[in-house]
Amino acid sequence: MRVIAELPHPSCKITLFNMNQKYIVKFELGSFEQSYKLSELDLTGGGANEIFQMLDEEFIATVVERFKLMRDDFSAAFKRQQ
């Protein structure tokens, strides 16, 4: 897996990877990760720039909200074990 680029963002770390004719967009916030895979064939040839255009603020806001839900779910599961 090869790192193609990182997109600076104040809410989370965003890294773009390339592996086996797929792009992988990984979001990280604390100890949580979300990954999205895109086939190179699904893109129109714009590569990393095309993917970064897809990652608009509306999409990133939903990713950050999902991180909050992930944290809540994990915290609830942890509390049930105590």
CB hemisphere CA count around 23 (13 angstroms): 22
Q: Give the alpha-carbon dihedral of 51, 11, 58, 69, to 10 degrees.
A: 110
Write out pLDDT tens, residues 25-61. 999 999 999 999 999 999 888 788 899 899 999 999 9
Q: Give, rounded to a whole angstrom, the gap between the first and last alpha carbons of the chain.
A: 38
Write out pLDDT tens, residues 55-67. 999 999 999 999 9
Q: Note down the domain range covering 12.
A: 2-80
Structure tokens at 24: 């992988």
- Residues 2, 19: contact at Cβ < 8 Å? yes
How would you classify the pairing of strands 22-29 and 2-7? unpaired
State yes or no: pLDDT of 15 exceeds 90. Answer: yes
> For the chain, how many structural domains are there in total?
1
Q: How far apart are CA 71 and CA 63, in angstroms?
A: 12
